[in-house]
Amino acid sequence: MSDKSVIEKITHPHAWNVLQARIDESIVTGQPMIERPFWLKNTITGQLYYDIMGCVGWPTEVSDRDEGMPGYVGIIGVVKSKAEGKPVQDAAFQLLAEEESRDVPSLLGMIIEMREEYGFGLHPDLLQAWFGDYERFTTVLALKNERLTAGGKKRNAILIRPPIDFGSPKTFDNYVRSLQSVIVPGKVRFYFGGCDILRNKLREFKRDCPAVMAVGGLIHSLLFETLWMDSTQSNVFTVEEGYVT
């Protein structure tokens, strides 16, 4: 964990017992997903999170008519409600930080700075892989990772994972609809916080906008898979290291 981080990890004082009780309940009820016996806390605001995830939208292609749209990086927290009885799977999403740039190396630098601020290393999966297009700018990313992992520090690499339905003929349409579904008045589940870049991009609404693609892809994935919970079939918990497969 970086000294710059504003996030701390809180583990339930009786983690093993709580975990086993949740596993037993999931077996009885037939529910394959369980709440983790740890969570995250913003030490400045006091806000609690089940998980924190990152996304990236690369700059669009440059043409002879314009320089394309800038790339975007953002971090979203899955909010842990302080209210009793609120279902874990219905958690809200909060945009915690965002930046944009047309320069790919600058975007990678922003990813490094953001993940250090928001708890990278607190448990094995936290901000390890960022949602986005894993097929673009692979050479630039490989060169950056070569430096980040020098000396055997493999966990420092920036990994890019595709959102659900990435590459389908209706990718942008799917992601826009998922993002719009969580900002419907009266049914708001996504909060912009103090961030304005994405908010303004939604007002402009240009097709294939990197900011909308990035956040929309992450939200689409969160809505279809409860990524802030764990499967009783695939994980083992250790207090020291978090979940490992």
Question: Do 54 and 127 form a contact (C-beta atoms < 8 A)?
Answer: yes
Q: Hunting for tokens 């978090």 — which residue is that?
A: 242
What pLDDT digit, counting tens, does each position of 91-131 carry? 999 999 999 999 999 999 999 999 999 999 998 889 999 99
CATH classification of 7-244 is 2.60.40, yes or no?
A: no
Q: Which of 228, 193, 238, 239 is nearest to 80 (CA)?
A: 228
Segment 155-171 shows an average pLDDT of 95
pTM of the model: 0.87
Do 232 and 19 touch, CB atoms closer than 8 A? no
Per the model's pLDDT, the better-predicted residue between 124 and 132 turns out to be: 132
Whether residue 152 is predicted with pLDDT greater than 50 in this model: the reply is: yes
Mean pLDDT of 204-211: 95
Residue 87 has pLDDT above 70, yes or no: yes
Q: Which residue has the higher pLDDT, 235 or 149?
A: 149
Nearest Cα to Cα of residue 35 among 118, 91, 115: 91
Sketch the domain layout of the chain as residue ranges.
7-244
